[in-house]
Structure 1
Amino acid sequence: MSRTFDDARSWAEFGTALFLQAADLDDAGLDAPSALPGWTRKHLVAHVAANADALGNLVHWAATGERTPMYTSSEERAAGIERGAGMVAVELATWLRRSAEALAAAMASLDDAQWQSLVVTAQGRTVPATELPWMRSREVCVHAVDLGTGLTFADLPTGFLAALGYDVVAKRTKEHGPALRLEATDTAASWELPGEGEPTVLAGPVHEITAYLTGREHVLTAVDGGPAPTLTRWL
């Protein structure tokens, strides 16, 4: 599926609103475990707030030409999340909202030429700034579910889920794992992953397939009744 720049900006806006609403909890709620192993909801909120600040660095790079990495180091990134996890709910919510608003405003200020500027992601990929809304949409949409407040992948836009499926499959084709064929029963989307043995066929709604591909909770089974093969970590 070919996602457009406007699609990604729309999904980033949608996901940000969804995450802000899901994260509107008191200290007890935020201190509860998230769906990510070893992280409380405060860890996850801090991660999303820090991601907005980090993407803001790349927007600054695109706007000015000044090389501004997302993070100075992986250690600095982890330390920032731990600091956020120790904040009280009001302080953490202020950071989350402020960082989201600052990123949205910075993106809105880029002109057409600046959007084409090349920047480098935290994974070392060189991409045009037009990729930044897609990167943000993945963060806020997927992590809104990871907060564990009742949202599921079924609450995310179908177009986003299909685009995410293609994105994850493109990454996973470089891995060594089981051969798979995935068929979305509610859209025309399908994916194939090369690998070992005869392909295992998995069919179901696109939200279940995308949850499976990203390593989240799902109910998929193989069409022959067997379990869905275990995948390596996505990101």
Structure 2
Amino acid sequence: MRRTLGDALNWCATGTELFFAAVAGWGEEDYLAPSGLPGWTRKHLVAHVAANADALGNLVRWAATGEKTPMYSSPRQRDADIEAGARRPAEELAAWLTSSAERLAAGITGLTDDQWNAEVVTAQGRTVPATEIPWLRSREVCVHAVDLASGVAFSALPAGLLTALADDIVAKRGGAAGPAVVLTATDTGDRWELPGEGEPVTVDGPLAGVAAYLAGRPHALTASGGSLAPLLTAWL
């Protein structure tokens, strides 16, 4: 793993600043515009990021108290929170985004060394140490800052985060069906292999493009020979 707790805490702060800067000053029409995610307005996306802060706050509470506090009370709660949030007025939604981020930051700051090592369970059912919480949040705010479709690109994200994101996605895609792909970031020399069907397809490009491709976001990468990079299945 090429990331530390300190890295994740820094990326979490950077991504939060990027996300907040992107939505600053938005009115109702701005929030109702389409996001970069199919079927979601920017309101849906902002509601998702706000609800994510509250959900990760539950994991912080779990680590701090030892009391089992799942991210969501049921598999349906996440979707219900997003839909309800998407119906809020812009001003109210913005206030939720801010307050939820502040609560999460305060909770993270209060964790002791022992509490950082406490085990919690993610929404996907993975048991992880609490040190993973800042990484989960940094991934959310950074990638979704791009998804706001307001001018933030993957190239604006920290290089270390992009490398860690590629590592994370490749690890999660390891058992997924799909084509075998060998990826190389031409600007850093980093290389990843996605196991899959057939002869491996070689895809090269800048780190930002590689991360966007792996995350299923728009990119300009092509495979060797100039053909389009093969379509990948969803990673989350």
**TM bracket (short chain):** over 0.9
SS at the partner of 1:202?
A: strand
Q: What is residue 92 of structure 1 aligned with on the other side? A: 93
Q: What is residue 12 of structure 1 aligned with on the other side? A: 12
Q: What is residue 216 of structure 1 aligned with on the other side? A: 217
Structure 1 runs (4+) deviating above 3 angstroms are: none
SS at the partner of 1:168?
A: helix
SS at the partner of 1:127?
A: strand
Q: What is residue 106 of structure 2 aligned with on the other side? A: 105
SS at the partner of 2:182?
A: strand
Scaled by the length of structure 2, the TM-score of the pair is 0.98
Deviation by residue 1:5-47 (Cα, 9 ceiling, x = unmatched): 1000000010011111112211100000100001000000000
Separation in structure 2 between the aligned mates of residue 177 and residue 83 of structure 1, nearest angstrom: 35
Separation in structure 2 between the aligned mates of residue 222 and residue 77 of structure 1, nearest angstrom: 37
Which runs of structure 2 are paired with 1:1-235 in the superposition (5 Å)? 2-24=2-24, 25-235=26-236
Further displaced range: 188-197 or 44-53: 188-197
* CA RMSD, Structure 1 to Structure 2 (Å): 0.7
Separation in structure 1 between the aligned mates of residue 194 and residue 146 of structure 2, nearest angstrom: 25
Change (3 A) 1:23 1:74: farther
Separation in structure 2 between the aligned mates of residue 46 and residue 113 of structure 1, nearest angstrom: 32
Separation in structure 2 between the aligned mates of residue 212 and residue 50 of structure 1, nearest angstrom: 26
Q: Which amino acid in structure 2 is aligned with residue 98 of structure 1? A: S
Separation in structure 2 between the aligned mates of residue 186 and residue 45 of structure 1, nearest angstrom: 32
Runs of 5+ unmatched residues, structure 2:
none
Separation in structure 1 between the aligned mates of residue 111 and residue 145 of structure 2, nearest angstrom: 27
Query: Taking every aligned residue pair, what percent have the same amino acid on both sides?
Result: 62
1:74 CA displacement: 2.0
SS at the partner of 2:76?
A: helix
Separation in structure 2 between the aligned mates of residue 230 and residue 94 of structure 1, nearest angstrom: 38
SS at the partner of 1:180?
A: strand
Separation in structure 2 between the aligned mates of residue 229 and residue 134 of structure 1, nearest angstrom: 28
Separation in structure 1 between the aligned mates of residue 142 and residue 89 of structure 2, nearest angstrom: 24
Separation in structure 2 between the aligned mates of residue 174 and residue 23 of structure 1, nearest angstrom: 37
Separation in structure 1 between the aligned mates of residue 195 and residue 81 of structure 2, nearest angstrom: 38
Q: Which amino acid in structure 1 is aligned with residue 222 of structure 2? A: T
Scaled by the length of structure 1, the TM-score of the pair is 0.99
Number of equivalences? 235
1:188 CA displacement: 2.4
Separation in structure 2 between the aligned mates of residue 232 and residue 144 of structure 1, nearest angstrom: 22
SS at the partner of 2:222?
A: coil
Further displaced range: 139-148 or 223-232: 223-232
